[in-house]
Structure formats: structure tokens, C-alpha cells
Structure 1
Amino acid sequence: MNDPEFLRAFHESTLSSGDFRHLGHLRLAWLVLRRHSLEDALQIVSLGIRQYANSKGAGGMYNETLTQFWIRIVNHAIQAHPSAQEFEQFIDTFPILLDKQLPFHHWRRETLGGSRARSNWLEPDWRPLLF
């Protein structure tokens, strides 16, 4: 599925849950950040994921802290390598983004699993973000 089809399916909530796992979240962040500032992308992606999750009956799965972490780290990677024109090229350059354990380098599991992290951005409680 090309980028416009992916975005359309996401916004229309016709994107299958299988196509919107970790890699799909990264792709969404990358696509939005290529067109918008970090501040705008934080709002656009967060709202979009909440709406998508609600449409799939998974609204309780949403986590604001995790969402913002991934948007911020994707933005950091884009700034480091802005020439990637394709998402696959971007991921090939930054395969560490595929590691779903990265947030746990900065937050305790209990923190990220809590209701405050689900509804608000929480600063790291273990190691600070360096970006």
C-alpha cells in the first residue's frame, strides 16, 4: 500500500489492525512529520490514533506517553537523516526504531502501564531523553 493509500485507510479507519502495529505507527509518525512541525505532529498523530483505536474498540489501549515518545524519536531520526524519501529507506537507516523496548530505557514499566501515562505525556522517570 502506498503512502496516500495508507493515510487514507488510517483516517477512514479502514486500515486493518494488522497493518497498524508498531511499524504502522512509525510510518504514520514519519508521514505526518514530513509535512508538519513536531508540535503539530504530536497533536495530529495523537488525535488520529485515539480516533482509530476507538473505531476498532480499542480506545483503552491508547497511551499518550508512548505515542509522544515514538513521534519524538522519529522526529529526531528525521532530523539526523532528512534525505530519506521512502519510509523503507528511513527504517533501513534507523533499524533501532523497530525495537519496541526502547521506551523502557527511559521509563519504568509500572509508569508506562499506569493511567497517567495513558492519558498524559509523562517525562521519563528513569533515564532522560537526549533528544
Structure 2
Amino acid sequence: MTDAEHLRRFEDHSFPHEQWNHRAHLKVAYLYLNRFSHAEALERLSSGIKAYNATHGIQDTPTGGYHETMTQAWLHLVHTTLRQFGPAASADAFFDAQTQLRDKRTLLLFYSRDRIMSPEAKTTFLPPDLAPLPQPVGAA
């Protein structure tokens, strides 16, 4: 699937639910960050995930559905990586080269399991409690 097709299918909610995995989420983040400011990418990503979930009947439960802290932290990591290494020919090429983004457990380098899995983290962005998230190149 091309980058344009990936993004279109996310935005029109026709992306197959069985393929809506960690990499698919991060590809959308990458594609938005290549087109928009960080703030606009975050708005589009969070509202898009919520709309996609609603269309596909994905319930917000204590352990499932949209997760604010994970969404923001992963967007931040993709943004930092993009600023450090630059874009690639495609989202797939970017993620093939940036293997550190593949493992969903990466956030546990920054967050304790209790904090990232807390009800508060699900609904509100919480900063990390183990180590700060890396800052993009040139960021203060």
C-alpha cells in the first residue's frame, strides 16, 4: 500500500481493522509529521484514531481503545527520529531503517508500567516518570 493509500484509508476509516497495528499507527504519525506541524499532526492523529475506533466499534475501556499518553509519546518519538535522521522515500522505508520504533515496549524505557497503564494516562498526557523523552535536534 502506498503512503497516500495508507493515509486515505486511515482517514476514510477503510483501513482493515486486522491490519491496524503498531506500525500502521506510527506510519500515520510519520505521514502527518511530514505534512503538518507537530501540533497539527497531533490533532489529526488523535481525532483520527478516535474516529477510526468509533467506526470500527473499538470500545474505550480501561485496557483498550484510544490512549492519550501513548499517542502523544509515540508521536514525539517519531518526530524526534524524523528530525534526527530525516525523511525516507516512504513511511515503510523510514520504519525499516528506524528499528528502534518497532518495539511497542520502547515506551517502558521512559514510563513505568503503572504510570503508562494508569487510567489517567489513558485520558490525559502524562510526562514520563523514568526518563525524559528525547528532544528533537535543535529543540530547546
Q: Which amino acid aligns with 1:8?
A: R
TM-aligned CA deviation for residue 18 of structure 1: 2.1
Question: Helix, strand or coil: the match of 1:34?
Answer: helix
Measure, in 2, the Cα distance between the counterparts of 1:128 and 1:45.
22
1:57-85 residue CA offsets vs partner (Å, 9 max, x unmatched)? 21411100000111111011111122412
Residue 68 (structure 2) pairs with residue 64 (structure 1): yes
Q: Does 1:36 align with 2:36?
A: yes
Aligned equivalents of 2:59, 2:48: Cα separation in 1: 12
The CA distance in 2 between the partners of 1:88 and 1:73, in whole Å, is 16
* Structure 1 range deviating more: 118-127 or 85-94: 85-94
Aligned to 1:110: 114
- Residue 15 of structure 1: SS of its match in structure 2? coil
The residue identity in structure 2 corresponding to 1:20 is W
Q: TM-score scaled by structure 1?
A: 0.93
Q: Name the residue aligned to 1:91.
A: 95
Give the residue type in structure 2 aligned to 1:38.
H
Q: Contact 1:50/1:59 (CA < 8 Å) preserved in 2?
A: no
Q: For each residue in 1:87-110, what CA deviation from the matched residue of structure 2 results, as whole angstroms up to 9, or x when unmatched? A: 122112211100110111111112
| 18 and 124 in structure 1: CA distance in 2 versus 1, 3 angstrom threshold | same
| Unaligned runs of at least 5 residues, structure 1 | none
* Distance change (3 Å), C-alpha of 1:83 and 1:48: closer
Taking structure 2 as the reference length, the TM-score comes to 0.88
1:47 aligned residue: 47
CA–CA distance in 2 between the matches of 1:42 and 1:125?
22
After the TM superposition, which parts of structure 1 deviate over 2 Å for at least 4 consecutive aligned residues?
none
Q: In angstroms, what is the RMSD of aligned CA positions?
A: 1.2
Query: Contact 1:11–1:48 at 8 Å: present in 2 too?
Result: yes
**Percent of pairs identical after alignment?**
31
Specify the SS of the correspondent of 2:79: helix
Which amino acid in the other structure matches residue 48 of structure 2?
Answer: G
**Counterpart in 2 of 1:123?**
127
2:68–2:124 contact (8 Å) kept in structure 1: yes
